[in-house]
């Protein structure tokens, strides 16, 4: 059972580990720009993920693969300017860390120096172990990501639930332990069976953040544009929409257009 929420002036990687020990759930949302980050941070969200999902949400790509390191740094720097409390974690994009641990370190250093981000996130387990170690040895905090890993979508060929079968589940558990031993401060588990995710969360000392991984983990993450209902075509089971911004924004835009065309905007009070 969760304990009463403790007030933290600034969230750090240590804060997240302390929250897990206390039984306090961790809240995490995405942001890609200053305005959204300022609102998310002001609402008391613990972690802001500058996700490579910006490739989909902000740029309209089908996958996360096209977004570049320069673009991720741009988004992350914009987010950092709007944040006072939240821990900001930045995805290292596809092709910027998988092939060479030295390249992984260079990418992580660029993110930290040029954006001011607080930590980086990478997808994968044993296959990127050396890259994770190289980044951590430089003093850069790393969040892992297992289960459905969108950067590997063409390898899997589908966005369906991962690790449903025993063999894949065992590999995931081994990779989670490997990432903890390497020094990762937390792991995102995406779209895996709830029972498996809870087992991983209980077996590790670092926080497990779920997206489509049930309620037995240490925290949850959603894409902000999805949970606000700004996007409306994407309807996975794990998504709870807290607003219908698509409808509200569409109505507002139509009202504005109508007022302009009728000559009702601006009125006498809205002129100099």
- Give the residue numbers annotated as catalytic, written as ranges: 190
DSSP one-letter code for 65: T
Calpha distance 238→16 (Å, rounded): 23
Nearest Cα neighbor of 124 from 76, 157, 91, 102 is 91
Name 219's bridge partners.
Answer: 26, 209
Calpha distance 76→61 (Å, rounded): 19
DSSP one-letter code for 90: E
Calpha distance 132→124 (Å, rounded): 10
203 with 173: CB under 8 angstroms?
yes
DSSP one-letter code for 71: H
The alpha carbons of the chain give a radius of gyration, in whole angstroms, of 20
For 31, phi then psi, to 5°, come to -155, 150
For 76, phi then psi, to 5°, come to -65, -40
Return the residue matching tokens 């949400």: 57
Calpha distance 131→152 (Å, rounded): 17
Calpha distance 31→37 (Å, rounded): 5
């Amino acid at each position: 059972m969760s304990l009463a929420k403790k007030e933290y002036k600034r969230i750090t990687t240590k804060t997240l580990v302390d929250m897990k020990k206390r039984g306090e759930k961790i809240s995490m949302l995405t942001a890609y720009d200053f305005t959204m980050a300022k609102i998310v941070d002001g609402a008391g969200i613990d972690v802001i993920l500058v996700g490579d999902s910006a490739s989909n949400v902000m740029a309209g790509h089908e996958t996360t693969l096209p977004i570049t390191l320069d673009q991720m740094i741009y988004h992350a720097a914009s987010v950092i300017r709007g944040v006072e409390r939240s821990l900001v974690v930045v995805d290292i994009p596809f092709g910027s860390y998988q092939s060479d641990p030295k390249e992984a370190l260079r990418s992580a250093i660029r993110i930290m120096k040029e954006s001011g981000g607080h930590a980086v996130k990478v997808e994968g387990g044993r296959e990127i172990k050396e890259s994770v170690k190289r980044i951590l040895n430089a003093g850069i905090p790393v969040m892992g990501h297992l289960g459905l890993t969108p950067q590997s979508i063409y390898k899997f060929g589908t966005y369906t639930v991962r690790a449903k079968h025993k063999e894949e589940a065992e590999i995931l558990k081994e990779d989670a332990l490997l990432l903890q031993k390497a020094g990762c401060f937390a792991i995102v588990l995406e779209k895996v069976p709830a029972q498996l995710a809870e087992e991983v969360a209980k077996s590790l000392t670092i926080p497990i953040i779920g997206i489509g991984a049930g309620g037995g983990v240490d925290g949850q993450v959603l894409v902000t544009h999805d949970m606000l209902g700004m996007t409306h075509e994407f309807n996975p089971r794990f998504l709870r929409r807290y607003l219908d911004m698509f409808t509200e924004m569409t109505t507002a835009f139509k009202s504005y257009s109508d007022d302009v065309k009728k000559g009702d905007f601006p009125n006498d009070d809205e002129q100099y």
